[in-house]
Chain A
Amino acid sequence: MLDKHGIAKRIAQELQDGWYVNLGIGIPTLVANYVPDDIAVEFQSENGILGMGNFPYEGEEDADLINAGKQTVTLKPGAVLFDSATSFAMIRGRHVQLTVLGAMEVSETGDIANWKIPGKMVKGMGGAMDLVASAENIIVAMMHTSKSGESKLLPQCSLPLTGVGCVKRIVTNLAVLEVTGEGFVLIERAPGVTVAEIEAATAGKLIVTGDIPEMNI
Chain B
Amino acid sequence: MDRIADEHRKTMNKIVNNAQEAIADIHDGMTLMLGGFGLCGIPENAIAALVKSGVKELTCISNNAGVDDFGLGLLLQQKQIKKMISSYVGENAEFERQLLNGELEVDLIPQGSLAERCRAGGAGIPAFYTPAGYGTEVGEGKEVRVFDGKPHILETALKADFAIVKAWKGDRLGNLIYKGTARNFNPPMAMAGRVTIAEVEHLVEPGELDPNYIHTPGIFVQRIFEGKDYEKRIEQRTLRTR
**Which A residues form the contact surface with B (CB < 8 A)?**
45-49, 54-58, 61-73, 81-85, 87-88, 91-92, 111, 116, 119, 121-130, 133-134, 160-165
Which 4 pairs across A and B sit closest by C-beta, in order of nearness? A88-B112, A130-B112, A123-B90, A164-B135
CA–CA, A125 to B180, complex, Å?
24
Supplied contacts A83-B185, A126-B87, 12 more A-B pairs, CB within 8 Å: A55-B238, A61-B234, A64-B182, A70-B235, A70-B236, A84-B112, A84-B184, A84-B188, A124-B90, A124-B108, A127-B87, A130-B132
Q: Which of B37, B96, B236 contacts A84 (CB 8 A)?
A: B37
CA–CA, A91 to B112, complex, Å?
8
Contact A57 B239 (CB under 8 A): yes
CA–CA, A83 to B242, complex, Å?
31
Q: Given A64-B40, A124-B89, is A55 in contact with B240 using a C-beta cutoff of 8 Å?
A: yes
Q: Which of B87, B118, B135 contacts A125 (CB 8 A)?
A: B87
Most A CB within 10 A of own CB, among B38, B88, B233: B88
Taking CB atoms, residues of chain B closer than 8 Å to A130 are 110-113, 130, 132
Contact A84 B111 (CB under 8 A): yes
Taking CB atoms, residues of chain B closer than 8 Å to A125 are 87-88, 108, 110-111, 138
Report the minimal beta-carbon distance from B109 to chain A, rounded to whole angstroms. Answer: 8
Minimum CB distance partner of A29 in chain B: B238
Contact A133 B132 (CB under 8 A): yes
Contact A47 B40 (CB under 8 A): yes
Report the minimal beta-carbon distance from A135 to chain B, rounded to whole angstroms. Answer: 11
Contact A57 B99 (CB under 8 A): no
Taking CB atoms, residues of chain B closer than 8 Å to A73 are 238
CA–CA, A63 to B230, complex, Å?
11
Taking CB atoms, residues of chain A closer than 8 Å to B180 are 62, 64-65, 81
Interface string of B103-120 (1 = CB under 8 A from A): 000101011111110110
Chain B: residues with Cβ within 8 Å of the partner, total of 58
B9 at the interface (CB under 8 A from A): no
CA–CA, A62 to B88, complex, Å?
22
Report the minimal beta-carbon distance from B231 to chain A, rounded to whole angstroms. Answer: 9
Report the minimal beta-carbon distance from B61 to chain A, rounded to whole angstroms. Answer: 12
Taking CB atoms, residues of chain B closer than 8 Å to A123 are 88-90, 96
Q: Which of B183-198 contact A (CB under 8 A)?
A: 183-188
Q: Which of B24-57 contact A (CB under 8 A)?
A: 37-41
Q: Can you name 23 A-B pairs with beta carbons within 8 Å?
A: A56-B240, A57-B240, A63-B39, A63-B232, A64-B40, A64-B180, A64-B182, A66-B38, A66-B181, A70-B91, A84-B114, A84-B115, A84-B184, A84-B188, A125-B138, A126-B88, A126-B111, A130-B110, A130-B112, A133-B134, A160-B136, A163-B135, A164-B135
CA–CA, A56 to B134, complex, Å?
38
CA–CA, A66 to B183, complex, Å?
11
Taking CB atoms, residues of chain A closer than 8 Å to B182 are 64
Taking CB atoms, residues of chain B closer than 8 Å to A85 are 115-116, 118-119, 187-188
Taking CB atoms, residues of chain A closer than 8 Å to B208 are none
Report the minimal beta-carbon distance from B206 to chain A, rounded to whole angstroms. Answer: 23
Taking CB atoms, residues of chain B closer than 8 Å to A163 are 135-136
CA–CA, A72 to B136, complex, Å?
32
